[in-house]
């Protein structure tokens, strides 16, 4: 949309916005959402769709060309399918994707594609129905697998799945999850558990598994070969010989990729979060609703991004499971 290039104080090009459209979710995953739910944002606290569209256009004018719709669970928000069409129309030439738990995806995958969504990332923390129900506190694995298949059929590709690595929870399932790539052209990614919000207690209890250990375990089962996936982001990919898809690892804690971070996050309540592992957040909702012009909002965004932290400190001594780096809840910032 615009040839502008926005860089932060460290010279990193910032061109990727993750947009949380809701803090609500239809699952209660043990590393993300409290079992009894959350104090939900009030209707007036959340950004309206027209406000999100306005901000998205402003970000695009600053050179942003990648936009990901997140939650909570974005598909639980009323009108989300129509919003995808409006966002796509507002951002011609931009990459628009969505992160979802997949529970509601099968029914709307084709329409999302028609409305301009390019691809999806789907949470998949277990391939055992009973274990999946425990990790998600009630989720139906079959509905997620149907969502994956419908996304593939609709052309929402590449379809990527996200598995949060947790010792004594799903670590033993890694070979079975990786084996999904033998029959489906999907890209399975294993993500290190981050000490944020609900995950802090599991981190402190020893659930963290470094990606290097998980990779070694898979290598003992499969003859993995390195692979390259266009637009693969921070993941490093491998392929099982003969597989239709790939297996990736995201080392958010053990070997962070902060020096090449290109993203910021718009929270459901209109905060611009500059780093997943920091409490730095700039309010955009208040000035927008107080009558600020697009140019004024653009200036606030540019000044905020110049303050983007050099790196996070999750997992380091003193920051392993709380404090400055553990206050955020994943559902409140959109992952």
Residue spans of the chain under pLDDT 50: 1, 320-326
pLDDT of res. 324: 46
Identify the pLDDT of residue 316: 57
pLDDT at 323: 44
Cβ contacts of 112 within 8 Å, gap of 6 or more: 81, 84, 98, 120, 154, 156
pLDDT value of position 229: 82
Whole-number pLDDT of residue 205 = 66
pLDDT at 35: 77
The predicted structure's pLDDT at residue 327: 52
Q: What pLDDT is stored for residue 57 in this prediction?
A: 98
Identify the CATH number of the domain defined by range 16-333. Answer: 3.20.20.70
pLDDT of amino acid 322:
42
pTM of the model: 0.92
**Long-range contacts made by residues 31-40, C-beta under 8 angstroms, separation at least 24?**
31/164, 31/166, 31/193, 31/198, 31/199, 31/202, 31/330, 32/197, 32/198, 32/199, 32/329, 32/330, 32/331, 33/137, 33/198, 33/329, 33/331, 34/198, 35/137, 38/329, 38/331
Q: Where are the domains of the chain?
A: 16-333
pLDDT tens, position by position, 286-319: 999 999 999 999 999 999 999 998 877 665 555 5
Tokens of 304: 């905020």
């Amino acid at each position: 949309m615009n040839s502008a290039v926005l860089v932060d104080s460290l010279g990193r090009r910032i061109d990727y916005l993750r947009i949380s459209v809701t803090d609500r979710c239809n699952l209660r995953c043990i590393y993300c959402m409290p079992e009894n739910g959350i104090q939900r944002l009030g209707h007036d606290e959340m950004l309206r769709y027209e406000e999100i569209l306005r901000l998205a256009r402003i970000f695009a004018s600053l050179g942003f060309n990648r936009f990901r719709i997140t939650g909570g669970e974005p598909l639980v928000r009323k009108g989300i399918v129509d919003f995808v069409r409006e966002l796509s129309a507002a951002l011609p030439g931009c990459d628009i994707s969505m992160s979802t738990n997949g529970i509601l995806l099968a029914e709307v995958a084709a329409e999302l594609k028609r409305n301009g969504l390019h691809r999806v990332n789907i949470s998949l923390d277990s391939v055992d129905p009973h274990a999946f129900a425990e990790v998600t506190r009630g989720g139906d694995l079959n509905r997620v697998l149907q969502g994956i298949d419908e996304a593939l059929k609709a052309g929402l590709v590449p379809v990527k799945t996200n598995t949060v690595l947790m010792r004594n929870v799903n670590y033993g399932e890694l070979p079975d999850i990786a084996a999904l790539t033998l029959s489906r052209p999907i890209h399975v990614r294993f993500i290190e558990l981050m000490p944020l919000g609900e995950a802090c207690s599991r981190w402190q209890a020893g659930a963290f598994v470094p990606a290097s250990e998980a990779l070694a375990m898979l290598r003992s089962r499969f003859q993995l070969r390195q692979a390259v996936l266009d637009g693969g982001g921070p993941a490093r990919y491998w392929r099982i010989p003969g597989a239709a898809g790939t297996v990736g690892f995201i080392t958010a804690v053990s070997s962070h990729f902060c020096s090449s971070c290109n993203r910021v996050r718009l929270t459901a309540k209109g905060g611009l979060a500059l780093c997943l592992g920091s409490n730095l957040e700039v309010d955009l909702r208040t000035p927008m609703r107080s009558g600020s012009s697009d140019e004024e909002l653009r200036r606030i965004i540019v000044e905020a991004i110049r303050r983007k932290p050099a790196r996070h400190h999750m997992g380091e001594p003193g920051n392993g499971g709380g404090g400055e780096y553990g206050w955020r809840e994943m559902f409140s910032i959109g992952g």
